[in-house]
Each structure stands twice: as structure tokens, then as C-alpha cells.
Amino acid sequence: MSFDDLLDRYGREVSSKKKGARPEIIRLERIRRDRLGSVALGI
């Protein structure tokens, strides 16, 4: 699992239910496109 996968899941399961969902999802997308998104996690 990569950090990108984790952020995607968080965006779908947690952020989408928040009042300020859209701005948070935009921030998550920006992080996912960055080099950080490709980091493999030990999960």
C-alpha cells in the first residue's frame, strides 16, 4: 500500500463526510500527485 492509496481511502471514507470536504479533498489530491504519494507503507 502506498501513501497515495491511504490518502485516497481517507478522502473517500472520512473527508467526504466533513463539512469542509471539498477544500480538504483538493489538498489531499495535491499531496497524492507529489513525490510523497508514491512512498510505500508497511501496512
Domain residue spans in the chain? Answer: 3-38
Residue (of 35, 12, 37) closest to 24 by Cα position? 12
Low-confidence ranges of the chain (pLDDT < 50): none
Query: What pLDDT is stored for residue 43 in this prediction?
Result: 67
Which candidate, 33, 2, 28, places its Cα nearest to that of 14?
Answer: 28
Provide the pLDDT for residue 1.
Answer: 86
- CA 14 – CA 21 distance, rounded (Å): 9
Q: pLDDT value at position 24? A: 94
Residues making up the chain, counted from first to last = 43
